[in-house]
């Protein structure tokens, strides 16, 4: 094989490796989140897997360590509840009654071992009329 042919083969292999690594890196960020009710209803399917779960921090359930590196709380769905324990940096605005997304792994005992908690900005997801001081509207994310 001549030098030009070797260069083409090398460039093709290199492009393939880069594309594969880009796919692996991006695929983890494509992961959508489950609602609490979905997660609890299909706990056997999701046990041991990494996932993101969205729900509301149940009133009276939030326990945060003094160093703000650990927390335990219950995520509420419309019908079901999911116990959560988290280790790592917590958002400053984490509070009871707040909508959050917890990223972690569902354990076989039915609790979510969280690694990351993402809070939602209430005004960003409020109904359009309510966000502007009205009483009605439909939910739309605001644009900045």
Q: Is the pLDDT of residue 141 over 90?
A: no
Q: Is the pLDDT of residue 128 over 90?
A: no
Fold of 32-123: OB fold (Dihydrolipoamide Acetyltransferase, E2P) (2.40.50)
**In 10 A of CB 37, how many CB atoms?**
16
| Mean pLDDT along residues 128-142 | 40
| Mean pLDDT along residues 69-92 | 93
**Confidence band for 102, pLDDT divided at 50, 70 and 90:** very high
Find, among 8, 131, 87, the residue nearest to 143 by Cα.
131
Domain boundaries, the chain: 1-30, 32-123
Q: Is the pLDDT of residue 99 over 90?
A: yes
Cα 91 to the center of its chain, rounded Å: 13
Q: When comparing pLDDT for 102 and 133, which is higher?
A: 102
| Mean pLDDT along residues 93-103 | 92
d(CA 83, CA 102): 11
What's the pLDDT at 67? Answer: 87
| Mean pLDDT along residues 72-91 | 93
What's the pLDDT at 77? Answer: 93
């Amino acid at each position: 094989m001549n030098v030009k042919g070797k260069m083409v083969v090398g460039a093709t292999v290199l492009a393939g490796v880069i594309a594969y690594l880009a796919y692996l890196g991006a695929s983890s960020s494509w992961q959508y989140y489950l609602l609490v009710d979905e997660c609890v209803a299909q706990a056997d399917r999701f046990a041991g897997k990494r996932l993101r779960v969205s729900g509301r921090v149940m009133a009276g359930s939030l326990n945060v360590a003094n160093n703000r590196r650990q927390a335990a709380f219950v995520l509420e769905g419309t019908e079901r509840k999911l116990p959560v324990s988290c280790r790592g940096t917590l958002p400053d605005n984490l509070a009871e009654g707040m909508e959050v997304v917890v990223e972690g792994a569902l354990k076989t005992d039915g609790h979510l071992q969280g690694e990351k908690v993402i809070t939602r900005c209430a005004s960003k997801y409020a109904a359009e009329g309510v966000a502007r001081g009205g009483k009605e509207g439909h939910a739309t994310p605001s644009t900045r």
